[in-house]
Copies of this chain bind each other. A is one copy, B any other.
């Protein structure tokens, strides 16, 4: 399955690189079907994945951002965000990805996951029980040290006030705008936590955004919980929305929740 996921990522990266861009890497997207500027590039990448899966005979169902659930007669489902960090992608900010997880009934039973940074090509992969890797090298989370720590924070208009106290726990914070890659930064020990506490349901995380990086982080020794402290799980549906805390060191869960 690793090879198939890699092939899909290669295909999307090839298509992305072939797109016309202005000098600053902006993609002139126009309005997509959903009326947003950004959905057109997602649709473009999603179409590329579906066509490639047909062509290669990859027998998985698909749950994806634009198209929803596609029954392709498979036993398992590819949970897909064809472009995670779409705003970054269309604005020329070099931090966005494709995120793919192979699940059966819920997010928790995911057994293969791949996240590719579509700008740099860096590839994160995990198999359930088999560890997590970046470009073929085993990765692992890092310990939390208050004076030398970095937290990745959901932030902006719809952030919950509780975020302020979490932010104050870390010596540095970042808001990078691509949840899957931010989770992978925790998995590789670059950051110690990723926290989303959003007041607006429609901006909370969905399974397509987080399923892959969730397995990668768990296989790297970390954990992801909802804000009541339970291990995060999500239904195979675009309607399920959650806030979450992802961390490398369990001390962070005690401090934050």
Task: Check: A214 CB closer than 8 A to any chain B CB.
Answer: no
Q: Which residues of B contact A2 (CB under 8 A)?
A: none
> How close is A88's CB to chain B, nearest CB, in angstroms?
8
Stretch at the interface among A9-17, A64-72, A165-173, A229-237: A165-173
Instruction: Count contacts on A: residues with CB < 8 A to the other chain.
Output: 41
Distance (whole angstroms) from the CB of A41 to the closest CB of chain B: 15
Give every chain B residue within 8 A of A94 (Cβ-Cβ): 94-95, 117, 119-120, 122
Residues in B with CB closer than 8 Å to A62 are: none
Interface: A202 (CB within 8 A): no
Q: Which residues of B contact A23 (CB under 8 A)?
A: 134-135, 137-139, 188
> Quick one: which of B93, B150, B190 contacts A174, CB cutoff 8 A?
B93
Q: Do A87 and B150 touch (CB < 8 A)?
A: yes
Q: Which residues from B are CB-within-8-Å of A148?
A: 37
- Does A24 lie at the interface of the complex (its beta carbon under 8 Å from any beta carbon of B)? yes
Cross-chain contact B172 with A177 (CB below 8 angstroms) = yes
Set B92, B156, B173, B189: member contacting A24, Cβ < 8 A: B189
Q: Which of B24, B150, B175 contacts A134 (CB 8 A)?
A: B24
Tell me the interface secondary structure of chain A in the complex.
Answer: loop
Residue of B nearest to A169 (CB): B157
Choose from B26, B122, B156, B157 the contact partner of A190 (Cβ within 8 Å). Answer: B26
Other than A24-B139, A26-B189, A156-B172, give 14 A-B pairs with Cβ distance below 8 A.
Answer: A23-B135, A23-B188, A24-B189, A24-B190, A37-B148, A87-B150, A92-B188, A93-B174, A93-B185, A94-B119, A95-B95, A153-B175, A156-B173, A157-B170
Question: What 10 A-B pairs are tightest by C-beta distance, nearest first?
Answer: A23-B137, A24-B188, A91-B190, A175-B175, A156-B173, A92-B190, A174-B175, A155-B173, A174-B177, A23-B134
The 19 sampled A-B contact pairs (Cβ below 8 Å) are A24-B134, A24-B137, A26-B189, A26-B190, A87-B150, A91-B190, A93-B174, A93-B185, A93-B190, A94-B95, A94-B119, A153-B155, A155-B155, A156-B172, A156-B173, A173-B175, A174-B175, A175-B176, A176-B176
A interface residue numbers (CB < 8 A to B): 23-26, 37, 87, 91-95, 117, 119-120, 122, 134-135, 137-139, 148, 150, 153, 155-157, 167-168, 170-177, 185, 188-191
